[in-house]
């Protein structure tokens, strides 16, 4: 059954903005680490931004620092990624992911640490 569902992707002109959403089932949303990854054709699936719960500490990959904001709405079991000043190199399939880290661990940027994944939403910047 589906546990993470992304939406909000699309085609946008360079310099524009998009907000991606990811609705999670309650058991997945209780994960203390959630994040957004992206993958280009022929490329690796790289972390974009990660948020820890509780505390909402956020971490961003260098290519998106200053242009991306990750947030969560606990009332809606929803994770968001606001992307501004989009560039053609932001074109990728964007994935929502989650896992339960140990209490003393910082949320990871490594793909293999994430247990739960959505199907992805395509973002195209031209």
Q: Is 111 helix (H, G, I), strand (E, B) or coil?
A: helix
Residue 62 has pLDDT above 60, yes or no: yes
Q: What is the pLDDT of residue 2?
A: 52
CA distances from 87 to 15, 84, 98 (A): 6, 9, 26
Q: Tens digits of per-residue pLDDT, 11-52?
A: 999 999 999 999 998 787 778 899 999 999 888 999 999 999
Q: What is the pLDDT of residue 48?
A: 98
Q: What is the pLDDT of residue 1?
A: 57
DSSP 8-state code for residue 105: S
Residue 97 and residue 110: Cα distance in Å, rounded?
A: 11
Confidence of residue 114 (pLDDT cuts 50, 70, 90): very high
Q: What is the pLDDT of residue 67?
A: 98
Q: Tens digits of per-residue pLDDT, 66-100?
A: 999 999 998 899 999 999 999 999 999 999 999 99
Q: Decide: 53 and 32 in contact? Cβ < 8 Å.
A: yes
């Amino acid at each position: 059954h589906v546990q993470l569902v992304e939406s909000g992707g699309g085609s946008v002109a360079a310099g524009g903005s998009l907000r991606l959403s990811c609705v999670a089932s309650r058991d997945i949303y209780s994960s203390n680490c959630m994040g957004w990854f992206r993958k280009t054709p022929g490329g690796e699936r790289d972390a974009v931004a990660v948020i820890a719960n509780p505390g909402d500490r956020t971490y961003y990959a260098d290519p998106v620092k200053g242009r991306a904001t990750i947030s969560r709405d606990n009332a809606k079991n929803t994770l968001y990624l606001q992307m501004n000043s989009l560039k053609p190199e932001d074109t990728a399939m964007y994935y929502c992911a989650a896992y339960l880290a140990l209490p003393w661990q910082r949320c990871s940027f490594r793909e293999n640490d994430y247990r739960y994944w959505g199907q992805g939403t395509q973002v195209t910047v031209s």
